[in-house]
Amino acid sequence: MEQIVSILKEALEPIGGVGEKTNRGLGDGPVLGPEPPAMYEEWPTLEFPDLTKSILDLFTKTTSESVSSSLLYELTRSDSEESEQASIRLQTDDQLRWCMQVLNHSLTLSFYTHREYETVHGAVRIYLHWLLALTDIPDGNIPTPLLNTPEKYFRNIIDALRNLFCRRSEVKGEVPRGLAIERQAREVETVLDAIRGLTHSASRKYQNEVWARTLSFLLNSADLLLADPLSPEEMGMRVGSRVVDTLFDLWFHAVMNEEIPSPTYWRTLAALCRRWRHHVTVVESWARKLLALTVLVCRKMYGDEYCRISIRELNDHR
């Protein structure tokens, strides 16, 4: 907070001292100097990896769906049952990577049939459970390689979860389009809540990695959802506001706690926000966050009684 206040004070002070006059005949105002370039324009933007591919993509839809469904049934049952006889323990890197190939493919399936939806739901549940390996009290059912080196697999898992934010083509299925969109939106919201929780619960030694990957994940996921215009019946209309709010909430939290890895992240956020500005939800969410931050800065500079706007009320209206 002190850094933000200091930056604002410096920005409000004219260059060359208060009251210094100009001799160029353009008025008696203070010399403010040349207009500065846009923030971090000299820095590159982040390069997001391609969406995760799976070996199952090479097979027919029927075969890949069958393999995914069968494996997810076994893994989710093992994850929930206490019987050692029924439990599946992944002990080696090869075993874990093979299962992740199937899980990655499962996240690309449709939401129009009950079987595919249950498979996607199971894959999300398993991946979010495995992310607990980054906390101080991981679950014993998590695969051994993940427990030993969770940061090694964290990027692969969080990259795969981006597939949930991709628009699904409308197909003839067992449920109407509205229900399919609602199913996908619920899975997206589950992931957002879990990722938000992980930024608070991750072990101290993994905090830097978690914040860097989380911010990159949210930037890329929001772009997948919001880069193109949306029709009224698309998933982005249902969950776009939630995605943007989560991104900005965690972004400001990272700023306040000095967790932004580099100016490249700021440069990327600025570039993407320009690409999303046709969405009203982006403008509204950013405005709410700026107002809340302005209230905090004003109270820090002039006392708690200076600005009586309730930040809690702002959050309640999200």
- For 13, 156, 245, the CA distances from 145, given in Å and listed in that order, are 55, 14, 34
**pLDDT for residue 40:** 78
Q: What pLDDT does 310 receive? A: 72
User: Can you tell me the distance from the alpha carbon of 129 to that of 138, in angstroms, rounded to the nearest whole number?
Assistant: 9
Which stretches within 131-176 are classed as H helix? 144-148, 150-160
Domain limits, the chain: 45-79+86-278
The predicted model scores a pTM of 0.81
Q: What pLDDT, on a 0 to 100 scale, did the predictor assign at position 307?
A: 75
> What is the predicted pLDDT for the residue at 87?
61
Per-residue pLDDT of the chain (318 residues; tens, 9 = 90+): 554 555 444 444 444 443 344 344 444 444 445 555 666 788 899 999 988 788 888 888 889 989 999 988 888 876 654 544 446 788 999 999 999 999 999 999 999 999 999 999 999 999 999 999 999 988 888 999 999 999 999 999 999 999 999 988 877 778 898 899 999 999 999 999 999 999 999 999 999 999 999 999 999 999 999 987 766 667 888 899 999 999 999 998 998 889 999 999 999 999 999 999 888 889 999 888 888 888 888 888 888 777 777 765 444 434
pLDDT at 214: 97
Burial of 100 (0-12, 13-18, 19+ CB in 10 A): buried
C-alpha dihedral over 193, 196, 198, 199, to 10 degrees? 180
Length of the chain: 318
Helix (H, G, I), strand (E, B) or coil at 130: helix
